[in-house]
Amino acid sequence: MLFFAPEVYTKTMTRHALTTIEPASEFIYTELLGGWLHFAFTEAVVLRLVDDYRVWRLLCMGMLLSDTAYVHSCAQALGGWGVWLQVGGWSVDDWVVTVTTWPFMIARLLIVGGVGMRAKVE
């Protein structure tokens, strides 16, 4: 969606407050797509091939930095945290964004915190 129809992404994130994008700013969506492709590769390839908890933990720490900025941007897109925290006013798009973001973020927090990780065998 980001590469072929960035205006759809913008509409989704802003409850249709922004319905068009300037052609000169389309590069920003391509940059965002690049970041997401990096996440996808790391999660689909690197974390499946690497069996070192320290590497997993470090990669998840980096992803959490990005997650934090993304979650903040979601609140910004709606008008700030005060608006975002009014869950009763959420649209279907707001729920989709949240449900597709928070579980992965929580999983990364658990990995970084060592929850559910086997004790190191010496």
Is residue 38 in a domain?
A: yes
Is residue 1 in a domain?
A: no
Is residue 120 in a domain?
A: no
The confidence score (pLDDT) of residue 120 equals 58
- Token output for 63: 């992803």
Q: pLDDT by residue (tens digit) across 52-97? A: 989 999 999 999 999 999 999 999 988 999 999 999 999 999 999 9
Residue (of 60, 93, 61) closest to 74 by Cα position: 93
- Cβ(74)–Cβ(84) under 8 Å? yes
Total count of domains within the chain: 1
Is residue 35 in a domain?
A: yes
Is residue 24 in a domain?
A: yes
User: Alpha helices, DSSP H only, in 23-120?
Assistant: 26-41, 47-49, 53-78, 81-84, 92-99, 102-113
Q: Which domain holds residue 82?
A: 6-113
Is residue 36 in a domain?
A: yes
The confidence score (pLDDT) of residue 122 equals 43
